[in-house]
Amino acid sequence: MKLAICSGPPTSGKTTVLKHVIKKLTNKGENTAFVKTDVQFACEDDFFAQELNIPTKKIYSGELCPDHCNVMILGDALEWAEKERATVLVVETAGLCLRCSPYVEGAFGMVVLEATSGMNLPKKIGPMLSLADIAVVTKIDLISQAEREVFRARILEVCPGMRIIESDALHGIGVEPIVKMIYNSSDMKEPIYLRGNPPIGTCTICVGKKEIGWKQHFGIVRPLDNQVFYRGE
């Protein structure tokens, strides 16, 4: 089974791009299964089940970082997709945690960014962008050629050598290279590892202590005037 993981900020066009990609994968003879992970609401599963007539599932991460949630469920999801006789599993994540990235070794990873999101976005989203195999820039139909070029250059500043695709996703234009990369990727083999390192985590806020100020907490804490060092217990 091939695995493709797609992340990107909300409304960046992930679902729109994937719709066209999955259609084209189907035309090439692949059977696609689709999983959506989100924090508290998603309807992509119904949309894809109806529109494309493929097996779909969704999972809400709730309290958990959606990317961490992804790690937890991916094993089960691959098993489920296998049972559904899928040859490709496509996962759309929520892409909200800007410290983590959902991509795994051996799988295709793509980030979807909207060209309308401001010239600084590529600098803000960390490993979601830097660890991807490909960056897809959508909504190019809405901005000037000049801004498209600056946006592209900003991505390359953050990730030199990143493969970038520009797409008018509404009309499914420019998505062929994505289809090709998924089609040509190899089947997943256990054990599967997360690409890159998860961020350092847990502090007392994570477990529900609400009082403001770092002196009230222990674990990994950081005062306002010090952006370099963490204090750890």
Partner 1 sequence: MEKIVRLERIGILGGYDKNGQPEPVREVEFNMGQVASIVGATGSGKTTLIKDVELLANKNTPSNRTITFNGIVPSEEYCPVPSDRLIALITQHTNFLSDMRVKDFLVTHASIRGSRGENSVVDETLMFANQLTGESIDTANVMTELSGGQTRALMIADAVVIGESPIILLDEIENAGIHRIKVLELLKQYKKIFIFVTHDPRITLLSDFRIVMKNGAMQKVIATNGEEKKVVEQVKKIDDLLLRLRAYIRNGEIITEFHLKE
Ligand X SMILES: Nc1nc2c(ncn2[C@@H]2O[C@H](COP(=O)(O)OP(=O)(O)O)[C@@H](O)[C@H]2O)c(=O)[nH]1
Intra-chain end-to-end CA distance of the chain, in Å = 43
Residues that bind partner 1 (rule: CB under 8 A) add up to a total of 22
Question: Cβ 43 to Mg ion, closest distance in Å?
Answer: 9
Residue environment code for 129-158, b if the CB has 16+ CB neighbours within 10 A, otherwise e: bbbbbbbbbbbbeeeeeeebeebbebbeeb
Single residue of 69, 169, 175, 182 touching ligand X by CB under 6 A: 169
127 contacts: CB under 8 Å, gap ≥ 6: 99, 100, 101, 196
Residue 65 near Zn ion by CB under 5 A: yes
At how many degrees (to 10) do helices 14-27 and 176-183 cross?
A: 60
Residue 170 near ligand X by CB under 6 A: yes
Residue 119 near partner 1 by CB under 8 A: yes
Region near Zn ion per CB under 5 A, out of 90-98, 114-122, 128-136, 212-220: 90-98
**Per-residue x/- track, 168-207, partner 1 (CB under 8 A):** x--x-xx-x-------------------------------
- Distance between CA atoms of 127 and 200, rounded to whole angstroms? 14
- Distance between CA atoms of 59 and 37, rounded to whole angstroms? 5
**Per-residue x/- track, 121-140, partner 1 (CB under 8 A):** -------------------x
122 contacts: CB under 8 Å, gap ≥ 6: 113, 129, 151, 154, 155, 157, 158, 159
Q: Is the dihedral of CA 144, 162, 58, 21 positive or negative?
A: positive
Residues 75, 65, 107, 88: what is their CA dihedral angle, to the nearest 10 degrees?
60
Residue 145 near partner 1 by CB under 8 A: yes
Which option in Mg ion, Zn ion, ligand X, none does residue 8 bind, with CB closer than 5 to 8 A by kind? Answer: ligand X
Q: Nearer Cβ to partner 1, position 68 or 148? A: 148
Residue 43 near ligand X by CB under 6 A: no
Q: Nearer Cβ to Zn ion, position 55 or 95? A: 95
- Distance between CA atoms of 62 and 39, rounded to whole angstroms? 5
Single residue of 17, 25, 100, 165 touching Zn ion by CB under 5 A: 100
Question: Cβ 47 to Mg ion, closest distance in Å?
Answer: 8
Residue 69 near Zn ion by CB under 5 A: no
Question: Which residues of the shown chain bind Zn ion in the complex (CB under 5 A)?
Answer: 65, 67, 97, 100
Question: Which residues of the shown chain bind partner 1 in the complex (CB under 8 A)?
Answer: 116, 118-119, 140, 142-150, 152-153, 164, 166, 168, 171, 173-174, 176
